[in-house]
Amino acid sequence: MKTYLECIPCFMQQAFKTACIATNDGIKIKEVLDSIGDMIKSIPLQNTPPETGNIIYQKIHEITNNHDPYREIKNRHIKEALSLYPELKKTIEKSKDRLLTAIRIAIAGNVIDLGVNKDFNINDDLKIILKQNFAIFDYDEFKKQLNKSESILYLGDNAGESVFDKLLIEELDKPVTFVVRGRPVINDCVIKDAIASGINNVADIISSGSPAPATILNLCNKSFLEMFKNADLVISKGQGNYEGLSEVNRPVFFMLKAKCNVIADHLNVKENDIVLKNINSDLKIN
Amino acid sequence: MKTYLECIPCFMQQAFKTACIATNDGIKIKEVLDSIGDMIKSIPLQNTPPETGNIIYQKIHEITNNHDPYREIKNRHIKEALSLYPELKKTIEKSKDRLLTAIRIAIAGNVIDLGVNKDFNINDDLKIILKQNFAIFDYDEFKKQLNKSESILYLGDNAGESVFDKLLIEELDKPVTFVVRGRPVINDCVIKDAIASGINNVADIISSGSPAPATILNLCNKSFLEMFKNADLVISKGQGNYEGLSEVNRPVFFMLKAKCNVIADHLNVKENDIVLKNINSDLKIN
């Protein structure tokens, strides 16, 4: 997905928010704003938004000398999500369609997204998303593909959301490899967040190598690319991964909530809609 | 009031919004964003936000070759506000304290502010503001000063809001001069908007000469400055005028709703609070 003009003021807002979390030093925060301002004219609109995000967040880390500004917030989100786990597990166990309920819960976890300029309340969102109609609902295809899959690649998104991903992975009942970012960026899940979320008990964990807040294939490592090419089923969580992979040349199941207008338009759904979308269902996996 | 770092991403958001209203040409919109991005490092933080706003909106007008992008929207807001006028007049006539109700209505009109990155619904806001407690309420002082005043200078803010200002001017029952901006900027009231709102039937109308979305004294014309110095009572509507005049050296009564965090903090109130605030009550008027 290309970068839309609407993304540019959003980059500035994200940069300000992250700079304020990364440091209390107003001079450094101003330096971040000046630097992102200077960068605007050279943003390649043909690139995906998280490719630009990668450069912006790297810049913020350098200027503030804080390479993991969301660490504390991530830890808190994981802790909060873990406290919800037992109740959510029961919700799944009591439901008529366990797999679908687990998918809904995994999508609800996707509201824990600090790259989007919105507040969220995970409990409120859970209530809504457990009942909400899907705007795109490729569930039959998903079940069919799941049944015949022997290897599943699960592209994680945010820390905290990862606890909700664990609940879905438990329902998939297949060998799963859970993929995280190559370095801390916004509140995205890295290896230690996946472990703190208990993913190591239900899946293998690997890093894609991508330093961007998304799976950007030309920034990923070889071993991930090999797995991505060959996996029977790829599940991609969240907006960032969608932005990075919407034009990729293999089947992918996207699970996300459309949290901004640009993504909603691109998916041809409304803001706040939830989506289970398959792309390239006609392509064979190599 | 100085410019806060938080204002900078807001400038970018405002510029994008205005550029999209001013033109459909994506290349020009991008040129606006590039140009505002370049400008960030030279924004003097000691200046008031509307002084920077003045430069930004001028730049947008130049690049898009549209010097009154909000014209249609302003006309619509005035029309909508005029349609509410008879009902609001009755509300005032039926109320126990006509002056206070008129002040509340004039403040409710202040939500018609397109420089703030928020949606608004005038009917919803009217209902709330007619009952809302004031966070700062210098009403007794206001009545006292009003009683002994022979000349009132009323600094208008937005087009549409001006219809609500008319209702308050009618309750003041004194000679009033209504002040508008020197040129179109955002949806601020200029002379023709004041006339379309019917202000000419209840007050004299003058331009401050300020091209900024605020009364910035060093951008105002001599005749306005003379009146500003000598008026028995100055009523200042809205955030922009507060930003421009919060440190001025004469008594001023500010009437506004705190629509952004920066203004709310500066006033030591909460976002969405309403305010009737006097400054420099101890200073004598020259």
B277 has a pLDDT exceeding 90: yes
Residue A152 host element (H or E): strand A152-155
Residue B111 confidence (pLDDT): 84
Name the residue facing A16 among B9, B30, B36 (closest C-beta).
B9
A37:B39 CB<8 A: yes
Question: Could you give the CA distance from residue A240 to residue A8 in angstroms, rounded to a whole number?
Answer: 16
Q: What is the model's pTM?
A: 0.92
Mean pLDDT of chain A: 95
A107 has a pLDDT exceeding 60: yes
Q: Where is average pLDDT lowest: A80-84, B38-42, B62-66?
A: A80-84
Residue A283 confidence (pLDDT): 86
- Interface mutation target, options A5, A10, A59, A119, chain B, most CBs of B under 10 Å: A5
How close does chain B come to A202, measured CA to CA in Å? 42
Question: Could you give the CA distance from residue B9 to residue B33 in angstroms, rounded to a whole number?
Answer: 11
B117 has a pLDDT exceeding 70: no
Burial B243-252 (b: 16+ CB within 10 A, else e): bbbbeeebbb
- Same-domain status, B38 and B86: no
A114 has a pLDDT exceeding 70: no
The answer to the question of residue B2 being in a domain is no
The answer to the question of residue A271 being in a domain is yes
- Same-domain status, A153 and A129: yes
The answer to the question of residue B208 being in a domain is yes
The whole domain housing B182 covers 71-279
Task: Choose among A180, A187, A163, A172: nearest CA to A81.
Answer: A163
Under the banding of pLDDT at 50, 70 and 90, the label for residue A122 is confident
Q: Which two tokens stand for residue A191?
A: 């290896």
Task: Find the closest chain B residue to A37 by CA distance.
Answer: B37
For chain B, the domain total comes to 2
* Contact residues on chain A for B6, CB-CB shorter than 8 A: 16
Please give the average per-residue pLDDT across B113-135, as a whole number. 80
- Same-domain status, A25 and A116: no
Question: Could you give the CA distance from residue A168 to residue A172 in angstroms, rounded to a whole number?
Answer: 6
B129 has a pLDDT exceeding 90: no
- Same-domain status, B144 and B238: yes
DSSP, collapsed to helix, strand or coil, labels residue A154 as strand
DSSP, collapsed to helix, strand or coil, labels residue A170 as helix
How close does chain A come to B12, measured CA to CA in Å? 5
- What is the DSSP annotation of A99-123? HHHHHHHHHHHTT--TTSSS---HH
- Interface mutation target, options B34, B43, B271, chain A, most CBs of A under 10 Å: B34
Residue A110 confidence (pLDDT): 87
Please give the average per-residue pLDDT across A198-220, as a whole number. 97
Cβ atoms B154, B162 nearer than 8 A: no
The answer to the question of residue A1 being in a domain is no
Please give the average per-residue pLDDT across B50-59, as a whole number. 96
Provide, rounded to the nearest whole percent, the portion of chain A with pLDDT above 90.
Answer: 90
Amino acid identity for residue A253 in this structure? F
Residue B115 confidence (pLDDT): 64
Residue A254 confidence (pLDDT): 98
Please give the average per-residue pLDDT across A264-277, as a whole number. 97
Provide, rounded to the nearest whole percent, the portion of chain A with pLDDT above 70.
Answer: 97
- pLDDT, one tens digit per residue, over B136-190 is 999 999 999 999 999 999 999 999 999 999 999 999 999 999 999 999 999 999 9
- Same-domain status, A211 and A240: yes
The answer to the question of residue A127 being in a domain is yes
- Same-domain status, B112 and B245: yes
Question: Could you give the CA distance from residue A196 to residue A79 in angstroms, rounded to a whole number?
Answer: 9
A285 has a pLDDT exceeding 80: no
Rounded to 5 degrees, what angle do the CA atoms B107, B108, B113 make? 90
The answer to the question of residue A2 being in a domain is no
Q: Provide CB contacts within 8 A for B26, sequence distance 6+.
A: A5
- SS3 string, chain B, reads CCCCCCHHHHHHHHHHHHHHHHCCCHHHHHHHHHHHHHHHHHCCCCCCHHHHHHHHHHHHHHHHCCCCCCHHHHHHHHHHHHHHHHHHHHHHHHCCCHHHHHHHHHHHHCCCCCCCCCCCCHHHHHHHHHHCCEEEECHHHHHHHHHCCCCEEEECCECCHHHHHHHHHHHHCCCEEEEECCCCCCCECCHHHHHHCCHHHCCEEEECCCCCCCCCHHHCCHHHHHHHHHCCEEEEEHHHHHHHHCCCCCCEEEEEECCCHHHHHHHCCCCCCEEEEEECCCCCCC
Q: Which two tokens stand for residue A186?
A: 């916004």
Residue A117 confidence (pLDDT): 58
A37:B33 CB<8 A: no
Residue A118 confidence (pLDDT): 64
- Same-domain status, B124 and B245: yes
- Same-domain status, B194 and B107: yes
Name the residue facing B33 among A8, A15, A38 (closest C-beta).
A8
- Same-domain status, A263 and A133: yes
Please give the average per-residue pLDDT across A103-119, as a whole number. 80
Cβ atoms B120, B203 nearer than 8 A: no
The domain that contains B93 carries what CATH number?
3.40.50.10880
Q: Provide CB contacts within 8 A for B224, sequence distance 6+.
A: B179, B206, B207, B208, B209
Residue B118 confidence (pLDDT): 64
A126 has a pLDDT exceeding 90: no
The answer to the question of residue A286 being in a domain is no
Q: Which two tokens stand for residue B5?
A: 């770092």
Place of tokens 């969608």: A242
Backbone angles phi, psi at B145, to 5 degrees: -70, -40
- Same-domain status, A229 and A266: yes
Q: Which two tokens stand for residue A246?
A: 């919407």
- Same-domain status, B14 and B113: no
- Same-domain status, A138 and A241: yes
A39 touches chain B (CB under 8 A): yes
Under the banding of pLDDT at 50, 70 and 90, the label for residue A286 is low
Q: Choose the final residue of a domain: A46, A64, A82.
A: A64
